[in-house]
Structure 1
């Protein structure tokens, strides 16, 4: 209740400075103060909600950015050459966090070496995803390296089970043409020559590992190798 003689004062403040409690005998005089109090509370709630939304947006953008860098890298960590992508520090024990996270997520454990390059492909020369039910030919020229291998995986990054137990070809066991060039066939059924079975229908991934390139500098090495990367050409698809 308002104190004696205070209910008639404007708003809810009496001459003594005391606030008039609610409900007030003269509610019309108290309503402006109540309204003002509610407005202040609503404003405070809106400020808190705005801060929370801003924080959530910033967190979402940060997570999306980190996910993109882990999945695709950046110009500083990766390169794109036709269907091939390369993580330049994949074999480096001092690789950046994004490269390490990418390799950890993919389940691949590269040989630790600063003198190794790893190229990944999941599309053909036309940018179409590699499919196990299709037939592809990989056309390559001699790679200027001490040793290299080309391996085929399913879309989950697992070796593809097959009766021939063929999963990869390397510099030593690959059949070549007289001029040193080679062709590898990817197909669900047996093919002549260098054939890698593609297994059950689904996506495919190819990894080209190159160790000990002969060039003395990484810049020369990178240019030489990238100019010699095999082509991935679709032959047929049901």
Structure 2
């Protein structure tokens, strides 16, 4: 009787641990095959047949359609360069240049993966509409209050994340450093 009890208890513990680990990796992801440049993270194999099982489970759960490897790459961040979470009540500046790409988009999402609702219905910028400096760099201000220039409203959400999609770009699996792919900085400049 004791052997049956220990066996059933072991099976229950193994099931709980296995299901818990699967849930954690499919909701939070893992760093299998990731590229980290500054605050930005990308998983270049997500849009290929070489996708890791954890990323596959995460995509199946979220229902997102990843950018194909031949089309481009997606970078995202939930933190600034100093590793502080992006807070919708704070002013954040995304500044610099992007790696070479035919077209890019920068979009703001809430932590559930939905566009942040705001009165202006402004959810992001594209490379074609952004106002740039004479040297080609840009500055995007992300804040709950109106700002001059390139401004994205956060509507005061607690936390959010940014997604930078680069289309038709040489950035990929071999990219590892800021020198290979110059990414814009993400800086928190103040909180209200």
Same fold (TM over 0.5): yes
Higher helix share: 1
Once the two structures are superposed, residues 117-167 of structure 1 have per-residue CA deviations (whole angstroms, 9 ceiling, x without a partner) of 111111112222111111100112142112111100112111122232211
Is 1:91 aligned with 2:47?
yes
Q: For the residues of structure 2 that align with 1:61 and 1:218, how far apart are their CA atoms?
A: 32
Alpha-carbon deviation of 1:188? 0.6
Question: Which has the larger Rg?
Answer: 1
Q: For the residues of structure 1 that align with 2:66 and 2:184, how far apart are their CA atoms?
A: 20
| Aligned counterpart, 2:136 | 180
Alpha-carbon deviation of 1:94? 5.5
Cα distance change on mapping 1:156 and 1:69 into 2, 3 Å = closer
TM-score by length of 1: 0.71
Contact 1:89 1:114 in 2 (8 A): no
Cα distance change on mapping 1:161 and 1:225 into 2, 3 Å = farther
Cα distance change on mapping 1:173 and 1:237 into 2, 3 Å = same
Cα distance change on mapping 1:222 and 1:209 into 2, 3 Å = farther
Structure 1 counterpart of 2:65, from 104, 109, 114: 109
Q: For the residues of structure 1 that align with 2:123 and 2:62, how far apart are their CA atoms?
A: 18
Contact 2:67 2:73 in 1 (8 A): no
Q: For the residues of structure 2 that align with 1:120 and 1:142, how far apart are their CA atoms?
A: 13
Alpha-carbon deviation of 1:218? 4.2
TM-score by length of 2: 0.86
Is 1:159 aligned with 2:143?
no
| Aligned counterpart, 1:228 | 182
Q: How does 1:9-48 map to 2 (within 5 A)?
A: 45-48=1-4
| Aligned counterpart, 2:30 | 73
| Aligned counterpart, 1:194 | 150
Once the two structures are superposed, residues 161-184 of structure 1 have per-residue CA deviations (whole angstroms, 9 ceiling, x without a partner) of 223221111211111111111111
What runs of 5+ residues in structure 1 fail to find an aligned partner? 1-44
Alpha-carbon deviation of 1:46? 1.3
Contact 2:142 2:152 in 1 (8 A): yes
Is 1:237 aligned with 2:191?
yes
Alpha-carbon deviation of 1:47? 0.8
Quote the RMSD (CA, aligned, Å). 2.3
Contact 1:186 1:195 in 2 (8 A): yes
Work out which structure has the larger RCO, using CA pairs closer than 8 Å and 6 or more positions apart in sequence: 2
Instruction: Give secondary structure in 1 for the equivalent of 2:103.
Output: strand
Cα distance change on mapping 1:173 and 1:194 into 2, 3 Å = same
